[in-house]
Amino acid sequence: MSQLLIEKIDAILPQTQCKKCGFAGCRPYAEAIVEGGADINQCPPGGQQGIQKIAELLDIPAKPLNTMHGYPRSYQVVAWIDENLCIGCTFCIQSCPVDAIVGAAKQMHTVITDECTGCDLCVTPCPMDCISMIPVNKKVTDWACSSIDAVKKQTANKARSRYQFRQQRIAHEKRTDLKTHTKEFIQPPQTQISPEVRKQAIITAALKRAAAIRAQTENKPDSIKNK
């Protein structure tokens, strides 16, 4: 696999990380193109100009966008959360490929508009249907054409960096969870107590202590009890 070629294709892709191409992100899609596992016309956000750029890079004929993967949008969009309906389930946070949604469990979530790529991956998981994709002021033609602009390219580079950082964070969390589970596995069996059993054990121990105190009081001589 040519890493340089992958880098060049990835640089053409819009970095929305929307998965509409059928892969987990822009980089995996670029890798699949080089490996022969994907066609060059599977990226709706990249549009026809993106296809043309990849075709020129690979020295192959261009082809029409495969609309089985979707259609290009006429306008750039970003996610918007109706904060009056948000219940803080965190499903949207988990689905965002660039960590552009902030919030905590059972608390209101908010989209960082400047970081949102418009992938719309957060819309479907929302159980309250309180997320909408709204247009921003900038008109879109084709990404590869508009990417000549330095600002557009900077936006793509930032989205790529945020996507890569998120992937690294998730990998780190998985390693940490694995270590934690491994430690729990090798601990003595007595530590493997469910919350319900632990609670009952605490109550039982408290009852035994109370019974012991009562027994001691009852066994004291009358002279001591009457003091």
- Average pLDDT of adjacent 10-residue blocks, the chain of 227 residues: 92 96 97 97 95 97 97 92 93 96 91 95 96 80 53 83 91 78 51 63 58 61 51
Q: Report the helix count and the strand count for the chain, using DSSP H and E.
A: 8, 4
Q: What is the pLDDT of residue 155?
A: 84
The model carries a pTM of 0.70
Residue 177 CB-density burial (10 A; 0-12 exposed, 13-18 middle, 19+ buried): exposed
List the beta bridge partners of residue 131.
81
Q: What is the pLDDT of residue 188?
A: 46
Q: From the CB of residue 124, how many other CB atoms can be counted at a distance below 10 Å?
A: 11
Give the dihedral of Cα atoms 10, 16, 17, 21; nearest 10 deg: -80
Separation between Cα atoms, residue 110 and residue 223, nearest integer Å: 71
Distance CA 153, CA 89 (A): 34
Domain boundaries, the chain: 75-141
Left if phi > 0, otherwise alpha if psi is -120 to 50, otherwise beta: which for 178? alpha
> Nearest CA to 54 among 7, 22, 117?
7
Q: Which of 30, 21, 37, 24 is nearest to 3 (CA)?
A: 30
pLDDT of residue 106: 86
d(CA 188, CA 110): 43
DSSP-derived letter for residue 23 is: S
3-state helix vs strand vs coil in the chain, percent to 5: 50, 10, 40
What class does CATH assign to 75-141?
A: alpha beta
Under DSSP, the state recorded for 146 is: H
Helix extents (H) in 24-149: 26-35, 47-58, 91-95, 143-146
At 222 the pLDDT is 56
The widest CA-to-CA distance across the chain, in whole angstroms, is 107
